[in-house]
A and B are shown apart, each in its own frame.
Chain A
């Protein structure tokens, strides 16, 4: 059946909704090949019909089936890429503009280009908000409940500068009571763990 490989691509994204699997160059090339093959065969049959060398109407169903299969392949191919872009977009909001190298290596070069353009556009937009040099939309992601929170450091992080300029040394398994704003990003990146009660 046509389009079987393309639908494998879609299943692959479906399995990895919260993460980015390695860009499946092999499978994509196979899908691209199937598409090219179908288009080529359709051209041949269409030309043959025009030249009158065969029964013109007889090939219409064939051409039609192939055309629908091309459309289907295209849809799956774009869905694969579109859903990966959505995932990358979420990564930009969760990891920040620098992706960990293990994730980066799963991107195609075009995806990497998309990511960096997206980051640039986003930064530009954030600078344009308000009259005062912009607003960082990557901060204040959760509604605040209290000013200070208790956290546990999950690794030996070393020196870290707080918002008010003081520098503290972050050690593994040590508890800190710090301003919420100083912790937000470190919690998101699993350097701190937020302790409640």
Chain B
């Protein structure tokens, strides 16, 4: 295992201008990945997937299905790079480049996870309710096990606090507020880039009657309301930018 930590990192999204040498040939097996294709991904493919997930999560108003496999895989990759770094002399120029690289990757992962946490807190009730519905229908959960646990604790914690606040109430304290979820605004507009040819996307303009149709050319960019394309985002056919 020698020089596998140098990654070609598409930095346009992070405003980073330096380049790190040596694209890797090291393969990372994603045995536990939950998709039909179990082929191994290269390290740079993992990063690409992480970047894509990060941007989608950053720009989508609602929480998206979790990407724990990719996160775990990239974290493994980072630890591996960091281990190798410790073996290098500290005055080695390569070392600082590789170190920079690990910091960038760490930012990518932690930023992604932070954005998800913020949504989990902000839309706590809404997200937990939808998770329940998904569980009943035997659908894949959007939250990772750790996130779900956190979400539940957040809810309990807030309810406990509000119960304390309302302890003065004569009789049973009201729970109206529990029905007043904070919901993401799915009508928000997003910028996207299509990754493939898509025909007949219905533009949901919030009116009752059917919206107009629009076709996406591969690589085309547009601005559109999120709820018109939420399925495409989740399927990975379009990339939010």
Contacts and interface: CB of A to CB of B under 8 A. Distances in A.
Complex A–B touching at CB under 8 A? yes
Interface of A: 32, 35-36, 39-40, 71, 74-75, 77-78, 81, 85, 89, 110-111, 113-114, 117-118, 121-122, 124-125, 128-132, 135-137, 139-147, 164, 180-181
B120 to A, nearest CB: 9
Contacts of B177: 74-75, 78
Nearest to A117: B157
Interface in B101-146: 103-104, 106-107, 109-111, 113-114, 117, 121, 145-146
Interface stretch (B20-28, B166-174, B202-210, B232-240): B166-174
B72 interface: yes
B149 A125 contact: yes
B164 A130 contact: no
B112 to A, nearest CB: 10
B170 A36 contact: yes
Contact of B107 (A40, A114, A124, A140): A140
Interface of B: 14-16, 71-72, 75-76, 79, 90, 96, 99-100, 103-104, 106-107, 109-111, 113-114, 117, 121, 145-147, 149-150, 153-154, 157-158, 160-162, 164-166, 168-171, 174, 176-177
Q: Chain A contact residues: over half helix, strand or loop, or mixed?
A: helix
A164 B96 CA distance: 14
Nearest to A43: B170
Contacts, number: 111
- Best-surrounded residue of A77, A122, A130, A145 (most CB of chain B within 10 A): A130
A10 to B, nearest CB: 14
A107 to B, nearest CB: 11
Contacts of B157: 114, 117-118, 121
A137 B176 contact: no
A180 B14 CA distance: 17
A77 B153 contact: no
Contact of B158 (A114, A124, A144): A114
A147 B100 contact: yes
A138 to B, nearest CB: 9
Given A32-B168, A81-B161, A135-B75, A122 B107 contact: no
Contact of B103 (A85, A132, A140): A140
A32 B79 CA distance: 54
Contacts of A118: 154, 157
15 contacts: A32-B168, A39-B171, A74-B177, A78-B162, A110-B161, A125-B147, A125-B150, A131-B76, A140-B110, A141-B114, A143-B14, A143-B107, A143-B111, A144-B104, A145-B16
A131 B176 CA distance: 41
